[in-house]
Amino acid sequence: MISILNEHFLIISALIILCFGIIYRFATYLNFPSISYAINTLTILALVSSLFIIGVDISIMSIQFNSIFIKDHTTVLVEIITILIGIGVIATTNRYNQKEKITHFEYIILLIFVLISIQLLITTEELFSFYLILEFQSICFYILASLKKNKYSIEASIKYFIIGSFASIILLLGFSFLYGVSGLTKFEDLSIFFMSNYNNSDISTLVTYGLVLTTIGLLFKVYMVPMHLWVSDIYANSPNSSLLIFATSSLLPFFFIVFKIYVHVLGEYEYIWKYLISITCIASIVIGTIGAMYQYSIKRLLAYSSIANTGYIFLAFLFYDSPFLLASGLLYLVLYTINTFGLISVITNIRFRDEQQQETTLENIYQLQGLYEHDNFVSAHLLVYFYAIAGLPPFSFFFSKIVVFTSLLYKTQFIWLIILMACLTVISVFYYVRIVQLMYFNKTQKHITVQTLPFAVRVVTVFIMLLNFTFVIMHTEITSVLQYVSLQLYL
Amino acid sequence: MFDRSLDQKDSVLLSIVPYLCSVILWIKYDPFKFSFQYEWTLEIFNTYFYFGVDGLSLFFIYLTTFLMPLCQLFNFDRTMNITNFLSLFCIEFLLIIVFMTTDILMFYIFFEAILIPFFIFIGVNAYRKRKIHASYLLFFYTIAGSIFMLVSILLIYTYTGTTDLYIMLNREYIQDLSKENLIWITFFLAFAVKVPIFPFHIWLPEAHVEAPTEGSVLLAGILLKLGTYGILRFLIPMFPMSTVYYTPLVLTLSTLGIIYTSFVTLRQIDVKRIIAYSSVAHMNLCVLGIFSTNPTAIAGSILLMIGHGVVSGGLFFAIGVLYDRFHTKLIKYYSGVIHGMPVYAAILFVLTMGNISLPLTSNFIGEFLILYGLYVQDNIYGLISGLVGVFIGTLYSILLFNKVIFGVVRDPNNKMIDMSWKEINVFIPIIIHIIWIGIYPNSFLDIINTYVLLNFF
């Protein structure tokens, strides 16, 4: 039981923090005190201790609840990364939340719930627990999107809610096809069933329906083309602190679980899903790259770039037969998560103040004009992040791009795809370099001042920037870990 | 983060340190040893980086470290800008790594990475609206040219399992000539943009006109040599069969380039554009020499690269001096500079003589060796185009010198102040090098000859 102690601990600490918040936030005898500092401290304490709890059983592989949840080294790695993301989110969004009057302590509670759902999501080995946990996570995201309480934020939340539930229902329909064929829900049983009934044409037809419906539902959840149209609205209108959570934390566990479903369970039907996924990946790369060219809102730009990068990440499904090639996809995923985290946490904390002492956040890229003259630190960091996400050397993201290229080159039929991706990389460099040009080349129009970043954000961004620079030196360390993880995905 | 009171004096002193190191490197270099020297493997976290210096990279490292203190010295009187300081030293550091590395992927990484500080350097220091256009051209020509080289490097990696130059040179990994030709084209595109060979040269005059003086010096002095360095280091040794196959194409392009850019230079009205186009012509002559398959011509090309790095650097400094006083680069506003600035006129004269490759200057030796090699190889069209290039080079250089220096003073009220000692100090080392290479080129050619004979024949 010790191996799911971590989840238990997080659930209990979330409930305790919730009780603490309810009791003290509405305490009339204390005149409704502001308890964000106390809540943040408590949460960071809880997360750090949960890191220790993970560290206790790092070498144990365990099977829980009648083999619905299975923990191994892969899940431990993802858990560690997500908890680090959680600590980073609390550290970097504090000032933004206070200035934008997102003082609800529910933000923190929802964050812990998201972390719990991620930890359960990657350990699950059963279709319906997967569906339920995914819904749990999605509901947290819907509420997080609406926290700013202006009409745009609520619009984003409702859009997210309607489209998300629509996608969930399609996903559930797909799962029910799989269940209806086999009467089974566990991944292991299902894979044995499909393996033994591979030649049965009735079953194959029904499974094909189920597979297509499942794919459509999952594409909604990871916003890949053609189910991507709504995502830029949600990125642009939800508060930055919530964006930081669902842009960075959702993709990592999702990749693992989708990989399990497709390769382990439906591995016999790879001739169907290989084409489905590769076509959507290529379409995502093309549309995400070209769509971002005309975006002047920085969050919409990020949305399109995330569409393109999701396409690159899910290209790893083409390498499902080789763990060492799969590691390239994982490297891309991890470095994308880290760089996006740094970028969004800097963007969140840039605040301009004009002559009337009006404070604004960063919305449009033209607000960045002449940032270099105001704050060398912020502009240097944004420079590194944008160049990194553009995939230019010597930053870390360049290496993830070349390992994807190399993996595709090992499969000789994809040479045209590499040429296409190389051309698109040049196109995508254009709009990232445009931002650098605005920061360094142009002069500021108005008299504004830029507030310095908070100390915690400085620490986080300097850390990520150092990682970006030193990845040339230490890439074997990280890739060997990821190769181990991808090997374990096959066991 | 940094102490803001750091002085320009400190950065001059700081930049002299690598120069002294490279001088020591040259002194201790053994020209009779037939391989990379000072081989040095850096092992950090199980990652190996291979570095080494041979007869080719030694002089480029020397040139880099030689021009950088002069760039810092040129700005001696100005207040120091931390971004300029960082980007200049980044450029120097990355260039030294590029010239030292023996790993092709590392070469690509740092070859591209130089763009980032250079882009920032132009953007922060230039002043006109056109700078955006110019730096975008610089950036995208290089990126678009070299992205397919990256794909080829990775393709080679899938064949060999390594990106180390040593192993690749000692192994046949591409049996198929058509595939080798395809890979050759992608490599050539990347280097041709940097040289720049004729159809890819548009970015260079734009970048030169918009860049500040130090940027132009570094661009003409070293960054252009990255292209020819890449050709010599990677393109020819790694794909000898394809090089033979494509030699007529390259010779055609470079002869076209020499004649076209020489004639274009005659019609330019911007001083910096004249020097920029003349560098295109000189670099195309280098490429002609490299592809002439003659050891003398290849040695001459390497010497011409070094000489051109010094001379064009000096010319851009000279134009920078002029620009500081008159704030224009258009040739028609200049006249009679000799009446106010005699010392400047003398220095510009020496540099112009260097540019037209007068005997006793550095470029003469290089161009003579190239033309000699072309003559030996019976490459009559190459020889003629080289001679035309040299002749028109004389024309435009003398024309430029004539229009700027002689004539009547247009505006007597405009006080011309001659160069101060600080500015003269920038030019003294350059002139010493020009005449040194012109009179005693053997100090360079001894090492270059061994390198060329070992690596190409």
Q: How far is B432 from chain A (nearest CA, A)?
A: 37
Calculate the dihedral angle through the C-alpha atoms of B99, B103, B107, B109, rounding to the nearest 10 degrees.
Answer: -140
Provide the token pair at B29. 């270099």
3-state secondary structure of A72: coil
To the nearest whole number, what is the mean pLDDT of chain B?
88
Which burial class, exposed, middle or buried, applies to B416 when counting CB atoms under 10 A from its CB (0-12, 13-18, 19+)? middle
Provide the token pair at B96. 């030294």
Task: Say yes or no for a CB contact (<8 Å) between B47 and A472.
Answer: yes
User: Is residue A137 within 8 Å of residue A79, measured between CB atoms?
Assistant: no
Q: Distance between alpha carbon A134 and the CA centroid of its chain, in Å?
A: 14
Task: Say yes or no for a CB contact (<8 Å) between B151 and A372.
Answer: no
Task: Say yes or no for a CB contact (<8 Å) between B119 and A402.
Answer: no
- The mean pLDDT of A313-328, rounded to a whole number, is 81
Residue B440 — φ and ψ, nearest 5°? -130, 75
Which pLDDT does position A266 carry in this prediction? 86
Query: B422: how many CB neighbours lie within 10 A of its CB?
Result: 11
Task: Say yes or no for a CB contact (<8 Å) between A409 and B154.
Answer: yes
Q: Which chain A residues are closer than 8 Å to B47 by Cβ?
A: 472-476
Which pLDDT does position B291 carry in this prediction? 92
Task: Say yes or no for a CB contact (<8 Å) between B112 and A393.
Answer: yes
In terms of average pLDDT, the best of A294-303, A356-365, A467-476 is: A294-303
C-alpha to C-alpha distance for B259 and B385, rounded to whole angstroms: 6
Q: How far is B83 from chain A (nearest CA, A)?
A: 9
Q: Which chain A residues are closer than 8 Å to B113 by Cβ?
A: 392-394
Q: How far is A107 from chain B (nearest CA, A)?
A: 34
Q: Which chain A residues are closer than 8 Å to B123 by Cβ?
A: 437, 440-441
Residues B296-313 have pLDDT tens digits of 999 999 999 999 999 999
Supply the Cα-derived Rg of chain A in whole angstroms: 22
User: Is residue A211 within 8 Å of residue A265, measured between CB atoms?
Assistant: no
Query: What are the strands of the beta sheet with A351-353, ordered from one edge?
Result: A359-361, A351-353, A449-450
Q: Which chain A residues are closer than 8 Å to B105 by Cβ?
A: 402
- The mean pLDDT of A18-40, rounded to a whole number, is 84
Residue of B nearest to A436 (CA): B120
Q: Distance between alpha carbon B60 and the CA centroid of its chain, in Å?
A: 9
Q: Which chain A residues are closer than 8 Å to B116 by Cβ?
A: 383, 387, 392
User: Is residue B89 within 8 Å of residue B124, measured between CB atoms?
Assistant: no
- From the candidates A289, A385, A441, which should be mutated to test the interface with B, based on the most B CB atoms within 10 A? A441
Number of structural domains chain A divides into: 1
Write out the DSSP string of B263-314.
HHHHT--BHHHHHHHHHHHHHHHHHHHHTT--HHHHHHHHHHHHHHHHHHHH
- Write out the residues of chain A at the interface with chain B, using a CB-CB cutoff of 8 A: 372, 376-377, 383, 387, 392-394, 398, 402, 405-406, 409-410, 418-419, 422-423, 425-426, 429-430, 433, 436-437, 440-441, 472-477
Q: Token pair 């260097």 is at which residue?
A: B354
> Where in A21-115 does DSSP place strands (E)?
62-64, 69-71
Q: Which chain B residues are closer than 8 Å to A383 by Cβ?
A: 116, 120
Nearest residue to A94 via CA among A307, A291, A289, A349: A349
H or E element, residue A351? strand A351-353
Q: Which chain A residues are closer than 8 Å to B190 by Cβ?
A: none
- A-B CB pairs within 8 A amount to 85
Residues A234-275 have pLDDT tens digits of 999 999 999 999 899 888 888 888 888 888 888 888 888 888
Q: Name the residue among A406, A436, A441 with its Cβ closest to that of B131.
A: A441
Q: Which chain A residues are closer than 8 Å to B112 by Cβ?
A: 392-394
Query: A250: how many CB neighbours lie within 10 A of its CB?
Result: 23
H or E element, residue A360? strand A359-361
Residue of A nearest to B46 (CA): A476
The length of chain B is 457
User: Is residue A85 within 8 Å of residue A77, measured between CB atoms?
Assistant: no
Nearest residue to A212 via CA among A269, A131, A135, A161: A269
Q: Name the residue among A392, A422, A436 with its Cβ closest to that of B151.
A: A422
Q: Token pair 């180390």 is at which residue?
A: B164
Provide the token pair at B228. 């020819």
Q: Name the residue among B112, B155, B158 with its Cβ closest to that of A392.
A: B112
C-alpha to C-alpha distance for A451 and A145, rounded to whole angstroms: 25
C-alpha to C-alpha distance for B277 and B274, rounded to whole angstroms: 5
Question: B189-227 b/e with 16+ CB inside 10 Å = b?
Answer: bbbbbbbbbbebbebbbbbbbbbbbbbbbbbbbbbbbbb
Q: Which chain B residues are closer than 8 Å to A324 by Cβ?
A: none
Residue of B nearest to A371 (CA): B124
Query: B281: how many CB neighbours lie within 10 A of its CB?
Result: 26
Task: Say yes or no for a CB contact (<8 Å) between B47 and A429.
Answer: no
Q: Which amino acid is at B308?
A: H
Which pLDDT does position A225 carry in this prediction? 85
Query: In this prediction, what percent of chain A has a pLDDT beyond 70?
Result: 98
Residues B415-446 have pLDDT tens digits of 788 888 888 999 999 999 999 999 999 999 98
Q: Name the residue among A410, A422, A474 with its Cβ closest to that of B147.
A: A422
Residue of A nearest to B110 (CA): A394
Q: What angle do CA A460, A464, A466 make, to 5 degrees?
A: 115
Residues B132-147 have pLDDT tens digits of 889 899 999 999 999 9
Cα dist. B63→B30, B52, B433, B443 in Å? Answer: 19, 17, 11, 14
Q: How far apart are the first and last CA of chain A?
A: 22
3-state secondary structure of A68: coil
Q: Which chain A residues are closer than 8 Å to B150 by Cβ?
A: 402, 405, 422
pLDDT at A185 exceeding the cut of 60: yes
Q: What angle do CA B307, B310, B314 make, to 5 degrees?
A: 135
C-alpha to C-alpha distance for A141 and A121, rounded to whole angstroms: 15
Q: What is the 3-state secondary structure (H, E, C) of B391-448?
A: HHHHHHHHHHHHHHHCCCCCCCCCCCCCCCHHHHHHHHHHHHHHHHHHHCCHHHHHHH
pLDDT at A57 exceeding the cut of 80: no
Provide the token pair at A342. 């740094």
Residue of A nearest to B111 (CA): A393
Q: How far is A83 from chain B (nearest CA, A)?
A: 26
Q: Which chain A residues are closer than 8 Å to B131 by Cβ?
A: 441
H or E element, residue A417? helix A415-440
Q: How far is A437 from chain B (nearest CA, A)?
A: 7
C-alpha to C-alpha distance for A463 and A472, rounded to whole angstroms: 15
Task: Say yes or no for a CB contact (<8 Å) between A418 and B150.
Answer: no
Query: Is the backbone peptide bond immediately before B196 cis, with ω within 30 degrees of 0?
Result: yes
To the nearest whole number, what is the mean pLDDT of chain A?
88
Task: Say yes or no for a CB contact (<8 Å) between B135 and A437.
Answer: yes
- The mean pLDDT of A32-44, rounded to a whole number, is 86
**pTM for the full model?**
0.91
Residues B47-76 have pLDDT tens digits of 677 888 888 889 999 999 999 999 988 888
C-alpha to C-alpha distance for A297 and B357, rounded to whole angstroms: 55
Q: Which chain B residues are closer than 8 Å to A418 by Cβ?
A: 151
Confidence of residue A213 (pLDDT cuts 50, 70, 90): very high
Tell whether ipTM is more than 0.85: yes
Residues A66-99 have pLDDT tens digits of 778 888 888 888 888 899 999 999 999 988 988 8
Q: How far is B2 from chain A (nearest CA, A)?
A: 11
C-alpha to C-alpha distance for A381 and A364, rounded to whole angstroms: 18
C-alpha to C-alpha distance for B83 and B47, rounded to whole angstroms: 31
Confidence of residue B1 (pLDDT cuts 50, 70, 90): very low
C-alpha to C-alpha distance for B324 and B419, rounded to whole angstroms: 11
Q: Which amino acid is at B75?
A: N
Q: Which amino acid is at A336?
A: Y
Provide the token pair at B306. 């070094």
C-alpha to C-alpha distance for A299 and A246, rounded to whole angstroms: 13
Which burial class, exposed, middle or buried, applies to B122 when counting CB atoms under 10 A from its CB (0-12, 13-18, 19+)? buried
Q: Token pair 């969140």 is at which residue?
A: A348
Task: Say yes or no for a CB contact (<8 Å) between A477 and B46.
Answer: yes
pLDDT at B294 exceeding the cut of 60: yes
Task: Say yes or no for a CB contact (<8 Å) between A422 and B148.
Answer: yes
Nearest residue to B452 via CA among B301, B327, B299: B299
H or E element, residue B152? helix B130-160
Nearest residue to A92 via CA among A465, A463, A458: A458
- The mean pLDDT of A17-38, rounded to a whole number, is 84
Task: Say yes or no for a CB contact (<8 Å) between B83 and A406.
Answer: no
3-state secondary structure of B212: coil
pLDDT at B333 exceeding the cut of 60: yes
H or E element, residue B44? strand B37-44
Q: Distance between alpha carbon A265 and the CA centroid of its chain, in Å?
A: 24
Q: How far is B106 from chain A (nearest CA, A)?
A: 9
Write out the DSSP string of B47-73.
EEEEEEE-HHHHHHHHHHHHHHHHHHH
Counting DSSP H helices and E strands in chain A, the numbers are: 19, 5
Which pLDDT does position B417 carry in this prediction? 84
User: Is residue A175 within 8 Å of residue A128, measured between CB atoms?
Assistant: yes
3-state secondary structure of B327: coil
Nearest residue to B449 via CA among B234, B229, B296: B296
- From the candidates A389, A405, A453, which should be mutated to test the interface with B, based on the most B CB atoms within 10 A? A405
Task: Say yes or no for a CB contact (<8 Å) between B154 and A387.
Answer: no
Confidence of residue A170 (pLDDT cuts 50, 70, 90): very high
- From the candidates B51, B120, B130, which should be mutated to test the interface with A, based on the most A CB atoms within 10 A? B120
Q: Give the residue numbers spanning the domain of A155.
A: 2-488
Counting DSSP H helices and E strands in chain B, the numbers are: 21, 2
> Half-sphere exposure (CA, 13 Å, Cβ side) for A284?
27
Residues A226-243 have pLDDT tens digits of 888 889 999 999 999 999
Which pLDDT does position A459 carry in this prediction? 92
The residues facing A126 across adjacent strands are A186
